């Protein structure tokens, strides 16, 4: 646990290894444990760490400090405490906002950036999903909350990916008997983070950057529980796909246009959690990028 502000501590995972430090940042709703099965494979050539942002997992839940600038400052405070001068930052989903903000604010602290379906301008997402609401995922039944294993299986059915066991224990509260009780993080924290997103300052990124994109070819690629929906739900999912496609396309074009040393990899049909659904390909391309001079 690393103190980043008065009464605020962040959980830092150290998977080991030696060499250039590579720091993983999770997406909204996740802790750094979401990388438990992916990050350790880089310890043969790098010192691999993960940071759980404020509000999630074992990290503190202060009432404020969820804007992009503060979250980037949290990362700097962790690096300062660990005496890490320059690092590679790897971020999933909304962590991309933190990567861009950190790289543009503290350029001398960054060696490279890796975006895991993370390089988007999210300022337009609230309006997008207001016009095309996401149909609800399957409800959690009593049997789904009976144990951590049952909760993990439910998460797989509702999200489309099987997260590591450590992640389930990090983001959920269980009774002494093992029954799921609630999420660790209230919805208000996620809402505060979304409210604090900014237009990405890609033009200020002065280091090599690699961006993976999960390219949706159908509504099933966007809404993983599409098969469980009724006709009205599928119509809503189709509307989400129609609205999200131009948004995602514009994000890819903006990254290519504005990041001077940027490289983009499109993964058609991949899940948003590209480091789980396409783990082998992402790891291979990441490794090649990390060792390149």
Q: Does pLDDT of 211 surpass 90? A: yes
Averaged confidence pLDDT in the chain: 95
**Number of C-beta neighbours around residue 139 at 10 A:** 8
- pLDDT tens for 261-291 read 999 999 999 999 999 999 999 999 999 999 9
Give how far the C-alpha of residue 202 lies from the chain's centroid of Cα atoms, to the nearest Å: 18
For position 95, what pLDDT does the model report? 97
Residues 7-56 pLDDT 10s: 999 999 999 999 999 999 999 999 999 999 999 999 999 999 999 999 99
Work out the angle between the directed axes of helices 95-105 and 68-81 (0-180°, nearest 10): 70
- Which pLDDT value is given to residue 33? 98
Tell me the CATH number of domain 2-128+186-291, given options 3.30.390.10, 3.40.250.10, 2.40.50.220, 3.40.50.1820.
3.40.50.1820
Contact (CB, 8 A) for 241 and 216: yes
Mean pLDDT of 222-230: 91
Percent residues over pLDDT 90 in the chain: 94
Interval 73-84 mean pLDDT: 97
Burial class (CB in 10 A: 0-12, 13-18, 19+), 157: middle
Is the confidence at residue 158, as pLDDT, over 90? no
Direct distance between the N- and C-terminal alpha carbons of the chain, in angstroms, rounded to an integer = 33
Say yes or no to pLDDT of 253 above 90: yes
pLDDT, greater one: 159 or 1 = 1
Domain residue spans of the chain? 2-128+186-291
d(CA 228, CA 123): 30
Q: What share of the chain is helix, strand, coil (3-state, %, to 5)?
A: 45, 20, 35
pLDDT given at position 94: 96
pLDDT band, residue 293 (cuts 50/70/90):
confident
Q: State the CB neighbour count (10 A cutoff) for residue 32.
A: 28
Per-residue pLDDT, 159: 87
Q: Are 51 and 77 in contact (CB under 8 A)?
A: no
Tell me how crowded residue 103 is: count the other CB atoms within 10 A of its CB. Answer: 24
Beta strands in 26-98 (DSSP E): 46-52, 87-92
pLDDT value at position 76?
97
pTM listed for this prediction: 0.95
Contact 68, 196 (CB under 8 A): yes
Pairing mode, if any, of strands 172-174 and 87-92? unpaired
């Amino acid at each position: 646990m690393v103190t980043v502000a008065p009464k605020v501590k962040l959980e830092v995972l150290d998977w080991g290894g030696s060499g250039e430090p590579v720091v993983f940042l999770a997406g909204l709703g996740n802790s750094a444990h979401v990388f438990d099965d992916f990050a350790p494979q880089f310890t043969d050539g790098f010192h691999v760490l993960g940071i759980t942002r404020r509000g999630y997992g074992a990290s503190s839940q202060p009432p404020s400090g969820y804007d992009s600038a503060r979250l980037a400052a949290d990362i700097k405070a962790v690096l300062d405490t660990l005496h890490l001068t320059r690092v590679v930052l790897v971020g999933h989903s909304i962590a991309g906002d933190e990567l861009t903000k950190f790289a543009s604010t503290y350029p001398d602290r960054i060696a490279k950036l890796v975006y895991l379906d993370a390089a988007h301008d999210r300022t337009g997402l609230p309006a997008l999903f207001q016009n095309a609401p996401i149909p609800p995922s399957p409800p959690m039944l009593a049997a789904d909350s009976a144990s951590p294993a049952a909760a993990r299986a439910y998460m797989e059915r509702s999200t489309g990916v099987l997260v590591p066991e450590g992640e389930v224990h990090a983001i959920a509260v269980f009774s002494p008997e093992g029954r799921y009780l609630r999420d660790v993080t209230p919805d208000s924290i996620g809402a505060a983070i979304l409210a604090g997103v900014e237009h990405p300052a890609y033009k200020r990124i002065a280091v090599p950057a690699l961006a993976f994109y999960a390219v949706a070819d159908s509504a099933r690629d966007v809404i993983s529980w599409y098969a469980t929906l009724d006709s009205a739900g599928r119509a809503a999912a189709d509307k989400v796909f129609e609205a999200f496609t131009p948004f995602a396309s514009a994000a890819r074009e903006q990254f290519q246009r504005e990041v001077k040393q940027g490289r983009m990899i499109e993964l058609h049909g991949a899940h948003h959690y590209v480091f789980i659904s396409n783990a082998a390909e992402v790891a291979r391309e990441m490794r090649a990028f990390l060792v390149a001079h």
